[in-house]
Chains A and B, each alone.
Chain A
Amino acid sequence: MSRINWPLAVSVAAVIAGTFAVAGTVCAQPKEPIKIGAVLSITGPAAGLGIPERNGAQAAVKSINARGGVNGRPIMLIIEDDTTNPDTAVTKTNGLIFNQDVAAIIGGSNFAASVAMGGITDKQKVPQFAFTGLGPAIEKTRHCVFHMFTPHYLNARTLFEYSRSINAKKVAVLHDSGYGAVVVRELAGIMKDYPDIQVGTIEKFDITATDVTTQAAKIKAGNPDAIFVFAVNAVPFRAIRALQMTQPIIALNGASSYETVSAMGSAADNVIIPEFLVAEDPLPRQKDFINYFVKEIGAKPKNPESVAWDAIHVIAAALTKAGTETRREKLCEAIRGPYAGVTTDYDFSAEDMTGIKLSGYIFSKLVKGQYTRLPFVIK
Chain B
Amino acid sequence: MSLSLILQAALAGITNGFTYALVGIGIAAIFKGTRIINVMQGEFCVTGAMVTVLLLNNAHWPYWAAILGGVLSGVVVGMLINVLFVRYMMRKGATQQTFILLTIGLAITMSAAVLFFIGRSGYVLPPFGGEDATVILGAVVQSHAVWLILIALGITAGLKLFYHRTTIGIAMMGASIDADGATTIGINVPRMNMLTFALGGGLGAIAGILVTPLVSVDYAIGVNLTLKGFAAAILGGLTNPLGAVVGGLTLGLIESLAIVAVSSSYKDVIAMTILIAIMIFMPNGMLGRGGRRGG
Contacts and interface: CB of A to CB of B under 8 A. Distances in A.
A317 interface: no
Given A211-B214, A221-B2, A243 B256 contact: no
Interface residues of A, number: 35
Given A214-B259, A218-B264, A243 B140 contact: yes
A211 B9 CA distance: 12
A246 interface: no
Given A203-B264, A221-B2, A244-B133, A215 B224 contact: no
B211 A210 contact: yes
A43 interface: yes
Contact of B215 (A45, A51, A215, A235): A235
B60 interface: no
A263 B265 contact: no
Contacts of B16: 210-211, 213
Interface stretch (B95-103, B115-123, B191-199): B115-123
A214 B8 contact: yes
A373 interface: no
Nearest to B2: A221
A43 B121 contact: no
B264 A204 contact: yes
A206 interface: yes
Interface residues of B, number: 44
Contacts of B13: 214
A179 to B, nearest CB: 16
Interface string B232-276: 000000000000000000000001100110001101100000000
A47 interface: yes
Given A43-B115, A47-B120, A214-B8, A263 B218 contact: yes
Nearest to B7: A217
A259 B120 contact: yes
B90 interface: no
Given A234-B216, A260-B122, A263-B218, A213 B211 contact: no
Contacts of B255: 214
A266 interface: yes
B5 A213 contact: no
Contacts, number: 99
B80 interface: no
Main secondary structure of the interface of B (DSSP, over half): helix
B284 to A, nearest CB: 28
B12 A208 contact: no
Contact of B19 (A206, A210, A214, A218): A210
B12 A263 contact: no
A263 B221 CA distance: 12
The interface centre, meaning the residue of A217, A233, A258 with most chain B CB atoms within 10 A of its CB, is A217
Nearest to B133: A244
B156 interface: no
B140 A45 contact: no
Contact of A262 (B12, B121, B264): B121
Contacts of B225: 210
Contacts of A233: 122
A205 B12 CA distance: 14
Contacts of A125: none
Nearest to A201: B264
Contacts of A259: 119-122, 218
A200 interface: no
A213 B268 contact: no
Interface in B183-223: 211, 214-216, 218-221
A205 B216 contact: no
B112 interface: yes
A234 B220 CA distance: 13
Nearest to A260: B122
B142 to A, nearest CB: 6
B121 A263 contact: yes
A82 to B, nearest CB: 15
Contacts of A43: 112, 115
19 contacts: A43-B115, A47-B115, A206-B268, A210-B215, A210-B225, A211-B15, A211-B19, A211-B215, A214-B259, A215-B264, A217-B9, A218-B259, A233-B122, A238-B216, A242-B140, A259-B119, A262-B122, A263-B121, A266-B131
Q: Which 5 A-B pairs have the closest CB atoms?
A: A263-B122, A213-B12, A259-B121, A217-B8, A263-B216
Interface of B: 2, 4-5, 8-9, 11-13, 15-16, 19, 112, 115, 119-124, 131, 133, 135, 139-140, 142, 211, 214-216, 218-221, 224-225, 228, 255-256, 259-260, 264-265, 267-268
Given A238-B216, A262-B122, 17 more contacts: A43-B112, A210-B16, A210-B211, A210-B228, A211-B16, A211-B215, A214-B12, A214-B260, A217-B260, A218-B5, A221-B4, A221-B5, A235-B215, A235-B216, A244-B135, A262-B123, A264-B216
